Amino acid sequence: MAIKAGDKMPDGKFRVMTATGPAEVSTDELFKGKTVVLFAVPGAFTPTCSNQHLPSYLKNYDKVRATGIDTIACMAVNDVFVMDAWGKDRGVGDKIKMLADGNGEYTKALGLELDGSKFGLGQRSKRFSIIVKNGIAEKVNVDEGKYELTGAEATCSIN
């Protein structure tokens, strides 16, 4: 069953790249005491994700932060090395946390998995966005064919 507004975010871990190499970040570290916008993409370097979805958060960074968001985090069912390379390629710097859900475990815990097998992608994540306040999903948007539903503008109600 997919997560919905009002639900507690499931416990889990992500991999992130640090100056000393790959490290784990727990959901507690990510969400506790913070307001976070977590958005997910089916895959790093894929056209819509690279050219529209991730850039919507990057170009609207200041506007998103002005709405009270402490952290912007991007998740994909990709490994930490791919997520790091994609973040560097897109110039996210420290503005967006690039979270690797390499085995899709967190995606599955959210109930937002996508079977991309017919495109040669295997199991991935649906495109979604969640505003999380202190570990509780406040707003959940799931893309059913239009990335705009989960882009920064719609998720954070900015223009």
Name the CA radius of gyration of the chain, rounded.
Answer: 14
Q: Which of 51, 68, 67, 70 is nearest to 59 (CA)?
A: 51
Active site annotation includes 156: no
Catalytic residue among 9, 49, 64, 77: 49
Q: Which of 96, 122, 98, 140 is nearest to 1 (CA)?
A: 140
Tell me the C-alpha distance between 81 and 78, whole Å: 8
Catalytic center residues: 49
